[in-house]
Every structure is written in C-alpha cells, then in structure tokens.
Amino acid sequence: MFLKFFYMALTRLFRQVRRETLTLAPPRRVNRLLWWLAPGLLVKRWLFLSMAGVLLVGVGGMIWLKLTPVFYTGQLLGAALRAFTTYVPNYVSGPLGILLGLGLIFWGQSRTVGAITDVLIPGNEEELLDALLTQRRLARGPKIVVIGGGTGLSNLLRGMKRYSSNITAIVTVADDGGSSGRLRRGMGGLPPG
C-alpha cells in the first residue's frame, strides 16, 4: 500500500517537473511589457506617435548640424532629406523638424497619460493631480485600529476611509441566534457570513 502511494507520488512529481522544464514560459517582465501592446488599450498609437516624434527630433537635429554622413546610411532617407534641404535651408528646416518632433512627443505622451488616467479615474470627476494629492494625504493619515463588530462597524469604517488609508479592522463574530448559532455549536466554528 505504501509503495503504491510512494510510486504514484513520484510519477506525479516527475510529470510536473517534466512539464515545467519542457514549457519555456516567457519571462514575466517581458510578458507584462507585451500586454501594453494588446488591442483596445488606446495606448499603442500614442506611444508610436511619441516614437515618431523622437525620430523627427533626431532627423531635425541632424539636418540642423549638417551631419551628412548619417544621412547616407539609408539611401531613401538621404535622398529625401537632400531634396527637402534644397528647397528649405537647414537653419529653418532643422529647428522646424525639432519643434515638430517635440510637438509630436508632447502630444503622444499627453494622450498616453490621458488614456491611462481614464482607466485609473473612470468617472473623471477629479484631475490626476488631485487624485495623487488625496492618496498622499490619506497615506499620511493616522493609524486606526478598530476591534469589535456590530451593525455600525461598516458605516464607521466607510466614514473613516475619508480621513486615513491606514485602517485595520478586527471583526468579531459572536452570533448565537438562529441557524448560525446551531452551526456554531454543532461544528465548533464560526458561522458563515
């Protein structure tokens, strides 16, 4: 009997180890980063817009500083930049590209933060700064411990959440009436609910 149980436990353990070693799960951090690219989050387009802005700032800086060897790394980009700089001088097109790129970065980042803020503050009753200030104020509130039970405890705790987020409640259950009392006496444990 013991040998059969021991054999089954070992085979179950080996199967589990084999299953874990054969399935190569991606690292947790990479998996979490890829979730930002999931459809419907309304974040990707603004991140890509920000990246386009960074690229445009770099190209504008290259034009302004006349870094022509960098232009020739890509034949298409080099030809386009030469054609553009023949019509518009580099002291105008360089700063214009930088300003346009910075504008795209600002627009993309503000929309990214806006999309995340809409999720964190669904009703949008208050601004993000107000929510952060409220959270910091509640975190610095007094440490409150409530011990007991009864009908007014939930109302008390709900009201105290406005003044502090450092609340600990130890709720006692001492109901002796009805079916919960019979359960408590019969099973020797706490009544459900």
Give the per-residue pLDDT at 19.
55
**Structure-model confidence comparison of residues 125 and 138, the more confident one:** 138
Q: Could you tell me if 100 and 153 lie in one domain? A: no
Structure-block tokens of residue 9: 């436990």
Range of the domain at 59: 36-124
Give the per-residue pLDDT at 4.
66
Q: Could you tell me if 119 and 40 lie in one domain? A: yes
Q: Give the number of domains in the chain.
A: 2
Question: Residue 161: inside a domain, yes or no?
Answer: yes
Give the per-residue pLDDT at 22.
44
Please state, in angstroms and rounded to a whole number, the distance separating the CA atoms of residues 185 and 189.
8
Question: Residue 12: inside a domain, yes or no?
Answer: no
Give the per-residue pLDDT at 69.
61
pTM value is 0.40
- How does residue 116 score in pLDDT terms, banded at 50, 70 and 90? confident
Decide if 81 contacts 71 (C-beta within 8 A).
Answer: yes
Q: Could you tell me if 76 and 108 lie in one domain? A: yes
- How does residue 125 score in pLDDT terms, banded at 50, 70 and 90? low
- Mean pLDDT for 106-120 is 79
Among candidate residues 62, 64, 57, the one with its CA nearest the CA of residue 99 = 57
- How does residue 124 score in pLDDT terms, banded at 50, 70 and 90? low
Query: Residue 16 pLDDT > 80, yes or no?
Result: no
Give the per-residue pLDDT at 64.
80
Among candidate residues 60, 58, 110, the one with its CA nearest the CA of residue 84 = 60
**Structure-model confidence comparison of residues 24 and 86, the more confident one:** 86
Phi, psi (degrees; rounded to nearest 5) at 171? -100, 130
Residue 147: enclosing H or E segment and its boundaries?
Answer: strand 144-148
**Structure-model confidence comparison of residues 87 and 118, the more confident one:** 87
Decide if 92 contacts 52 (C-beta within 8 A).
Answer: no
Query: Residue 23 pLDDT > 50, yes or no?
Result: no
Please state, in angstroms and rounded to a whole number, the distance separating the CA atoms of residues 73 and 27.
35
Portion of the chain with pLDDT greater than 70, in percent: 58
Question: Residue 63: inside a domain, yes or no?
Answer: yes
Q: Could you tell me if 113 and 78 lie in one domain? A: yes
In DSSP notation, 57-82 reads HHHHHHHHHT-HHHHTTSHHHHHHHH
Give the per-residue pLDDT at 15.
67
Question: Residue 8: inside a domain, yes or no?
Answer: no
* Tens-place pLDDT, residues 86-108: 888 888 888 888 888 888 888 88
- Mean pLDDT for 20-39 is 59
